Amino acid sequence: MNVLPKSNVEFTKKDYWDSFFVKRGKEAFEWYGEYNELSGVLQKYMKLNDTILVVGCGNSNLSIDMFDAGYRDMMNIDISNVAIKQMQRKCKKRTGLVFKQMDVQKLLFEDSKFSVILDKGTLDALMPDSEEKTRKTVDNMFQEINRVLKVGGRYICISLLQKHILAYVLEYFSSHGWMIRVCRCHDVEPVGHSLPVFIVVCTKLKKMTNFKPVFEVVLSADTVQRLTSQEEMIDAISMSQQAALVCSGLAKQNISDSGEVTIDLALPDNSVPRYSIVVTDKKCKKLAEAMTYAAFIVPQGREREWLFGTKEGRDLLRDSSGMDRLAVILLHRGHKYSNLQEVQDEVRDAIRSIAPADILSKKQKIPFLSVGPDLGNRQEVVRGTSDISGEYIVEDAEGDNGTVYRRLIFLDNQNVVQSEARMIKDTTNPTSKIVDILYLSCDHHVFMTAGISMASINSNNSNIRVLIIGLGGGGLCMFIRKYLPQVFITVVDIDPEVKNIAVSYFCLKEDDHLKVIISDGLEYIKNTDEKFDAVLFDVDSKDSSKGLSCPPENFLEPEVIKNTVKCLSDKGVFILNFVCRIEKLRQAVWSLLSENLGDISSVKLKEEVNEIIFCQIKNPGVPIYEAACHFNNALQSQNYESGNIINLEQLTTMVRTS
């Protein structure tokens, strides 16, 4: 039986509603939930002794359930005479529960009669759009509500809060000096429902001069968040609706074909995310209803590790857990976390909201997994601000097996660790730790250093001049300084604060083999008269929206590449740390390099997104395998602690030549 209107406009017509209730007969129609689902919120804003007007009551059981719960002074109206007669017959034995046919635009009550006006879906029905005629209808309704409601009374509206409806509610009631609070009613929303239900509480206040509108939201539990403007309120509700849409999709389907889904969670009074949840699904499962599901809490400081910080690692983590869906919970820096139980309690509702539908409907317990019984350790060493790069922090974070790593992070891109160094015991003071300058924490730095061996072989191991664009914490240049003693290094960085950080917190030391120049790297390359046997670009991009995370886009312009070639000796090597997620862009960069240099090859790192590209003036140049052997031998001659730093067997599967 078709009981839905042909168009939204029909929601506003009396004839439609008469026809609607005739077709439904005695069956109650519940817009947006029943009383037992709404009562958790409603009881906070309605007292048993309130004088209540229910507008657009239809044949819903809401008023009956409220009456049975103890609300006695209730008047119910609806434009449909059919609905009113149905309710009058149904409620003969409930003395005091009154139903009258009446138009909400023309209320037949004296001024200030009611302390509560309850609207369940009526505003949504009357405002299918924001046309002038529709706004006039709603304006008439609001004027009548304003007239018959007492000062201190509340207009309580249960709504889906489409954007045009919310905007008009905020505009009208704030201009009349009312306080507005919007509460999300989670208990109403069925499993996998994409449209959240809200209860808007508009409180009529005495007219005051210089009144400042009051906007509040309650989107989770009982936490009230005060907002400063209508725009903030609209944004908050919109984000809640978008999150519900994502959760609905996760409940209904497997997402393995479309990749992962990441959801940020923040406390109501803080816009900075406290958690990120990354959802990953197993490919073999087709239907979300049949999936097993768990959550995994990543200890603080370990979110950058391959197992937790990459899609491939999280896929392995999911498969190892034996689950079809895994929600990986990452803890953000800048927050305090007491223990695992606190984290579980804070994220439990969010974890449940993104569960497969079968688990939601059966209310199964969702297991929480982790590496161990604690949350790990992350300590802030220093926080500062760079005029060029913005706010930053240096932190010590505990990794696997208790190893501590020092990290530099710029807060405008917290997912990227700018520099990392391993901490070791200070032999002069066993109670403290110092930076281990003889350790490379990043595989891409290992291969960039190995690339210098190409120039070393070409020069028969004589003195090598190396230019590095991008300092970071200085770990790369300090490692080269130690293990390749024939190398003379010039490092150029545009940010003087970065040099201060490297010296103060990462043990960078300049000498006759290592000097740091504060300058624009591109300008330095353009203007220098020096020749270098190797030039390394190790600079990250502040804007990765185009799919290029390293280097910045302007470092790959044809003029820059030509200037770089001019800096190279006749057997020089250009080494590029390249992070790109778009194959078409990668091919364009490869073509640009091929036009200006001779032998081009690269190593694509398996556990990082980096690709190290080696561009040699000489063609054919030194093969990567030969350079890696040379590099391993150089480390062994310097008594490097781990022997061969590059696995030569694995290397053959990582080399790319086009």
In a domain, 438, yes or no: no
CATH number of the domain that 77 lies in? 3.40.50.150
* H/E segment holding residue 517: strand 514-518
**Per-residue pLDDT reduced to its tens digit, 72-104:** 999 999 999 988 999 999 998 888 899 999 999
How many C-beta neighbours within 10 Å does residue 262 have? 12
Please check whether residues 236 and 258 belong to one and the same domain. Answer: no
Please check whether residues 303 and 408 belong to one and the same domain. Answer: no
Residue 637 has pLDDT above 60, yes or no: yes
**Per-residue pLDDT reduced to its tens digit, 388-432:** 989 999 999 887 777 888 999 888 777 678 888 999 888 888 778
Find out whether 284 and 320 touch, Cβ atoms under 8 Å. no
**Per-residue pLDDT reduced to its tens digit, 120-167:** 999 999 999 999 999 999 999 999 999 999 999 999 999 999 999 999
Residue 289 has pLDDT above 90, yes or no: no
Please check whether residues 306 and 400 belong to one and the same domain. Answer: no
Residue 22 has pLDDT above 60, yes or no: no
302 closest CA partner among 392, 372, 389, 393: 372
291 closest CA partner among 323, 256, 329: 323
DSSP class per residue in 61-94: SHHHHHHHTT---EEEEES-HHHHHHHHHHTTTS
CA atoms of 236 and 512, how far apart (whole Å): 57
Please check whether residues 307 and 408 belong to one and the same domain. Answer: no
Please check whether residues 403 and 272 belong to one and the same domain. Answer: no
Please check whether residues 404 and 329 belong to one and the same domain. Answer: no
Q: In the listed set 197, 227, 244, which residue is the last one of a domain according to the structure?
A: 244
In a domain, 258, yes or no: yes
In a domain, 285, yes or no: yes
Which residues are within 8 A (CB) of 656 and not within 5 positions of it... i.e. 6 or more apart?
A: 601, 602, 603, 604, 611
Strand, coil or helix: what is 459?
Answer: coil
Residue 376 has pLDDT above 60, yes or no: yes
Find out whether 454 and 598 touch, Cβ atoms under 8 Å. no
Please check whether residues 140 and 209 belong to one and the same domain. Answer: yes
Please check whether residues 276 and 191 belong to one and the same domain. Answer: no
Residue 372 has pLDDT above 90, yes or no: no
pLDDT of residue 636: 83
In a domain, 78, yes or no: yes
In a domain, 183, yes or no: yes
- Tell me how far CA of residue 252 lies from CA of 18, 245, 523, 564, in angstroms: 36, 11, 54, 53
Output the 3-class SS for 22-56: HHHCCCCCCCCCCHHHHHHHHHHHCCCCCCEEEEC
Please check whether residues 70 and 211 belong to one and the same domain. Answer: yes
Please check whether residues 536 and 402 belong to one and the same domain. Answer: no
pLDDT of residue 14: 53
In a domain, 436, yes or no: no
Q: In the listed set 179, 213, 244, which residue is the last one of a domain according to the structure?
A: 244
For residue 268 the two structure tokens come to 């109501």
- Domain, as residue range, for 311: 253-370
In a domain, 233, yes or no: yes
Please check whether residues 362 and 320 belong to one and the same domain. Answer: yes
Please check whether residues 386 and 298 belong to one and the same domain. Answer: no
Number of folded domains that form the chain: 4
With pLDDT > 90 as the criterion, what percentage of the chain qualifies? 48
Q: In the listed set 225, 244, 263, which residue is the last one of a domain according to the structure?
A: 244
Q: Which residue has the higher pLDDT, 561 or 59?
A: 561
Strand order in the sheet with 419-426: 378-386, 390-398, 404-410, 419-426, 429-435
In a domain, 651, yes or no: yes
Residue 23 has pLDDT above 80, yes or no: no
CA atoms of 157 and 183, how far apart (whole Å): 10
**pLDDT tier at 26 (50, 70, 90 boundaries)?**
low
